[in-house]
Structure 1
Amino acid sequence: MTPPNASAPQNAMAGIGLRIGAASAMALMAATVKLGATSYGLHPVEMLGWRFIFALPLTMLFVATRSGGLGLFRTGHKLAHIWRGVLGMVTMGFAYWSLMLLPLAEATALSFAAPLFATILAALLLADRVGWHRWSAIVLGFAGVLFVMQPQHSALPAKGLAVAVVAAFLVACVNITIRQISRYDPPETTVLWFTTISALCLGCVMPFVAEPHTAGEWLLIVCIALFGGTAQMLLTASLSVAPVPVVAPFDYTQLVWAVTLGWIMFGDLPPATTWTGAAIIVASGLYVLIRERRSSRIVRVPEG
């Protein structure tokens, strides 16, 4: 079946620029979430709820400007989108939790294990053929994860490391779900359904977790929503103008932002083991992506 955006004009440089913008927005959102939780005591569920409630109008405006407009909300696979929405909310909850427990660089580095998990799930659940090249890259990538985690003598909290790995696994599950949905719906439909479902579900929870806030706290909350919504819109736009194998490698620029923001905002400088592990994870992820290039099967919508 022809992908939904196959007829869109392709522009590699525009797609790369949009993808770098998406990665930057994701890093800024992560830093703002960590700042809100650790410095201002904001409840993670409340931050997540406001993120979607504030982002929903922006998302609808963005989709309205796309070909098909808000008619993109129509789909014949509502249950698949509901499942993706629920799974996405749980995934983001774990991602926010990991940011509260770990330094920004380490949480970001471990999140890049998601493509490795996704390749394993694709082989197990979708009967994808995974040759020894990709299996070798996966083994190498998880060696990089161990470098970051330092299981024998890590100064990082074990709970935080476990939460980050679970978050990466859940991102892989989301990617597999999106891959299935992308066979019949365009990325804009997925983003619109995800944002709408999340805003509605979390809106029902907000009365139990929402609290009065100062002007500074509201500014943080609005920034989380703007950064997260912008990341999703820029990534969606990148998928419509350039092939996934061209733009996806630039997701890793988020790590540069994470190290920089972690240092500036929290005084965290990652040790040599984190740098080594992150480099191995990124290298293995890129190699898996290169091996996927022929089929262009990977579709990513960030959990942000």
Structure 2
Amino acid sequence: MSNRPFATPPSTGASTDKPTPDRPLAGIALRLLSVLLLAIMFAGVKLAATRGVHIVESLFYRQICSALFAALWVLAGPGLASLRTQRVGAHVTRMMIGLTAMALNFLAMVLLPLAEATTIGFTVPIFATLLAALLLREPTGRWRWGAVAAGFVGVLVIVQPGSGMIAPIGAAVALAGALLTAAVTIVIRRLGATEAATTTVFWFAASSLAPLGLLMLHFGQAHDAATWGIVAVMGIAGGAAQLALTGALRLAPVAVVMPMDYTSLIWATMFGAILFGQLPGTSTWLGAPIIIISGIVIVWREHALGRRAVREAVSDGGE
């Protein structure tokens, strides 16, 4: 799974990791917790960068914590045997795209105010719909195409190209990160046919440590105790958020927990104001609702179509 809470979650295949949507309130609570933890992680990345921590370092320590948390999850649940995979190439592809997306998302948090970077990140479902239509040839009706168009209008309202309100490089990095995060969801959909969610999470974190470890030979450096504390909080929050995300999907359907992701704007605004003295501009408050509503429409429409497909399958089976 991507590091973004609003990324389309993976299918969990036929494994014991399959979600059981029978406790929606618990699922919502876990999703809200994961959103808070991810907001803490992103604030930690930005704060660490102000103290000289390179993005590569943040990625490395975040992935170490994610791998450890995923391993503990597996040991407490399905066991190490569940990590066996016959799809090494697919996991490597997922790692390369996911790691690049995470790097761009981290960099966007450094270049932009937290609220603006978070809001632009809400375009992940919009890009995912676009990529699914173009790459997977998934049928996309007027509801979802309309939501895609409205979402990009929301982005234009926030970015206002040429106005100087938002740093162009930061906006470009944030949009590129959202696009690649959406691309990860396409890869995960295919992996989900045979791989458990915890398997995908573990191999993403573990395999990414190889290239990041090599980069750390150049970018790794010593820091003072306070900075190490920030890095530790960032990494632990990111790893714990991964478990909360996975747990939420075991307890409630995507359509139930997904809207909770948009509460991240509340935390981003609060952390941005407290830690960096940054408040969202008027354009962000105008554009954010458009993007959020677009994302919710996409999730709702996919949920409705999924239920229709199940009803049709049941009807066909009964004939």
TM-score, normalised to structure 2, is 0.89
3-state SS in 2 of match to 1:8: coil
Task: State the AA in 2 paired with 1:171.
Answer: T
- 1:77-88 to structure 2, matched below 5 A, reads 77-88=87-98
What is the deviation of 1:9?
A: 5.9
User: Among residues 116, 119, 123, which one is paired with 1:113 in the alignment?
Assistant: 123
Question: 1:277-300 deviations in whole A, cap 9, x for unaligned?
Answer: 111100100001100003559xxx
Task: State the AA in 2 paired with 1:44.
Answer: I
The change in CA–CA distance for 1:7 and 1:217 in structure 2 (over 3 A counts) is: closer
CA contact (8 A) 2:19 2:251 kept: no
- 1:1-304 to structure 2, matched below 5 A, reads 3-4=13-14, 5-6=17-18, 8=20, 10-37=22-49, 39-66=50-77, 68-295=78-305
Please identify runs of 4+ aligned residues in structure 1 that moved more than 4 A: none
The change in CA–CA distance for 1:7 and 1:115 in structure 2 (over 3 A counts) is: closer
Task: State the AA in 2 paired with 1:153.
Answer: S
Question: 1:238-280 deviations in whole A, cap 9, x for unaligned?
Answer: 1112111111111111111101111111111111110111111
Which stretch of structure 1 is more off in the superposition, 145-154 or 284-293? 145-154
CA contact (8 A) 1:243 1:296 kept: no
Distance (Å, rounded) in 1 between the aligned partners of 2:266 and 2:213: 34
- How many residues are matched? 295
Distance (Å, rounded) in 2 between the aligned partners of 1:162 and 1:91: 13
What is the deviation of 1:201?
A: 2.4
Distance (Å, rounded) in 2 between the aligned partners of 1:3 and 1:36: 37
CA contact (8 A) 2:118 2:268 kept: yes
Task: State the AA in 1 paired with 2:61.
Answer: W
The Cα RMSD (Å) is 1.7
Task: State the AA in 1 paired with 2:103.
Answer: G
CA contact (8 A) 1:244 1:296 kept: no
Distance (Å, rounded) in 2 between the aligned partners of 1:7 and 1:36: 35
Distance (Å, rounded) in 2 between the aligned partners of 1:6 and 1:207: 39
Distance (Å, rounded) in 2 between the aligned partners of 1:55 and 1:185: 18
CA contact (8 A) 1:245 1:296 kept: no
What is the deviation of 1:3?
A: 3.5
What is the deviation of 1:7?
A: 6.8
Identity of aligned residues (%): 41
CA contact (8 A) 2:154 2:288 kept: yes
Which stretch of structure 1 is more off in the superposition, 8-17 or 113-122? 8-17
What is the deviation of 1:6?
A: 4.4
Structure 2: 5+ residue stretches without partners: 1-10, 308-319
The change in CA–CA distance for 1:175 and 1:296 in structure 2 (over 3 A counts) is: farther
3-state SS in 1 of match to 2:304: coil
CA contact (8 A) 1:55 1:229 kept: yes
CA contact (8 A) 1:56 1:199 kept: no
Task: State the AA in 2 paired with 1:27.
Answer: A
3-state SS in 2 of match to 1:294: helix
- Hey, what does 2:311 align to over in structure 1? none
The change in CA–CA distance for 1:286 and 1:76 in structure 2 (over 3 A counts) is: same
CA contact (8 A) 2:21 2:249 kept: no
Task: State the AA in 1 paired with 2:62.
Answer: R
Which stretch of structure 1 is more off in the superposition, 97-106 or 149-158? 149-158
The change in CA–CA distance for 1:2 and 1:143 in structure 2 (over 3 A counts) is: closer
Structure 1: 5+ residue stretches without partners: 298-304
CA contact (8 A) 2:74 2:198 kept: yes
CA contact (8 A) 1:32 1:223 kept: yes
3-state SS in 2 of match to 1:293: helix
Question: 1:31-88 deviations in whole A, cap 9, x for unaligned?
Answer: 1100111x2021111111121124322221122112x222221122111111111111
